Amino acid sequence: MNLPLKRVVVTGLGALTPLGNDIPQFWEGLVNGVSGADFIKQFDYSKFKTKFACEVKNFNPEDYFGRKEARKLDRFSQLALVAVDEAVKSAGLMDEGINHNRVGVIWGSGIGGMITFIEEMKNYNSGDGTPRFSPFFIPKLILDIAAGHISMKYGFRGPNFATVSACASSTNAIIDAFTYLRIGRADAIICGGSEAVVTEAGIGGFNAMKALSERNDDPLTASRPFDLNRDGFVLGEGAGAIVLEEYEHAKRRGAHIIAEIAGGGLSADAYHLTAPHPEGLGAFNVMNSALEDAGMKPEDIDYINVHGTSTPLGDISEITAIQRVFNQHAYQMNISSTKSMTGHLLGAAGAIEAITAILSTVHDIVPPTINHFTDDPAFDPRLNFTFHKAQKRIVNVALSNTFGFGGHNASVIFKKPTD
């Protein structure tokens, strides 16, 4: 027997990003077009081709965890727990009457505990060859551990796992949470993602792929989506958390409904390890899938927060797909890449960009694409990339795209809440 799918709404948000360490600071940075890029603080960058990144600012783990507890957590888990705490509190998920057996956690990360891995290997290589490893090495490293820590902190015993699809990881987490709630397997799910790979291996590895900008003379403007002279993405770190909740459950407990999630899509390029399909086939399919899932037409979308990494091939591929999906309506929408400000948070990108899409429907503001200096003739000048400054407009429906190495694509649609 096919039962009707349940409605799913957003009741809590949390963020820890290069633009600010909570939702108000993050949104203020976005709307004001602030760049989160600067020279790297976490290690000596002097011998690296890229010397800058978008790091979280003014974050001291001991402000949130005891020293002993902090040592048991990789940075990606620390960032996750801080962002989730804001989301849980804003949603009132610890209120009396919440059935913790029906609250889940689905958390994404593309890489996980890279810092822990590097530290343990350094310690091993500096010794006499005798294997000496921390008993917390593996528990700090594994990708699912952030979801585990979140559930243990709050006693949430519902569905609990991690999603991994490179830069689409946290959008996958959101869509999985949406699916579980629609079919009644939980009442609420905390979803999102975190990443912390501003490390020697992270910068060095992406440099070896020629994926990163090397604009060391001007880090603040290095992330230049859609600019003729874009030369790669800027690595970022952080976490974004979203509380999704079954609509009737949220209504019964009097929760504040921020937005409604309308649909999601998933697809694969089936093309190349790291390069996007040149005709944007996977992106075309995933946006169509999300629209179909939401029961919407292309004309219903007001704003797309694009993947927009500032890479020569990626930006063109995505815009090609958008023009195929939306046709003439592409000229009526706003498009922006907030990676121009936050950098690319890899597995956490989808979460903070979904939050951006949600907040655009709340405030009727589209954050800008900053750092545009030279038009690229590859892009249709009739498209509104929201260059330079945020724009006020009614945003009833917003779509967020994320695409990952391996050809993983995920799109999610949010809309203003109704009744």
| DSSP annotation of 108 | E
- Residue 268 burial (C-beta neighbours within 10 Å; 0-12, 13-18, 19+): middle
Catalytic residue among 167, 191, 249, 277: 167
- Residue 411 burial (C-beta neighbours within 10 Å; 0-12, 13-18, 19+): buried
Q: Is 200 helix (H, G, I), strand (E, B) or coil?
A: helix
Catalytic residue among 149, 249, 307, 372: 307
* Phi-psi label, residue 212: left if phi above 0, alpha if psi -120 to 50, beta otherwise: beta
CA dihedral of residues 228, 231, 236, 242 (deg, nearest 10)? 40
**CA 2/CA 264 separation, integer angstroms:** 20
| Phi, psi (degrees; rounded to nearest 5) at 369 | -100, 110
User: Does the annotation count 54 as an active-site position?
Assistant: no
User: Does the annotation count 307 as an active-site position?
Assistant: yes
User: Does the annotation count 167 as an active-site position?
Assistant: yes
Two tokens, residue 45: 């960058």
CA distances from 112 to 6, 62, 276 (A): 32, 20, 23
**CA 356/CA 152 separation, integer angstroms:** 28
Length, in residues, of the chain: 419
Q: Which of 352, 343, 53 is nearest to 198 (CA)?
A: 53
Catalytic residue among 249, 344, 372, 408: 344
Q: Which of 331, 302, 313, 315 is nearest to 371 (CA)?
A: 315
Two tokens, residue 78: 């620390």
Residues involved in catalysis: 167, 307, 344
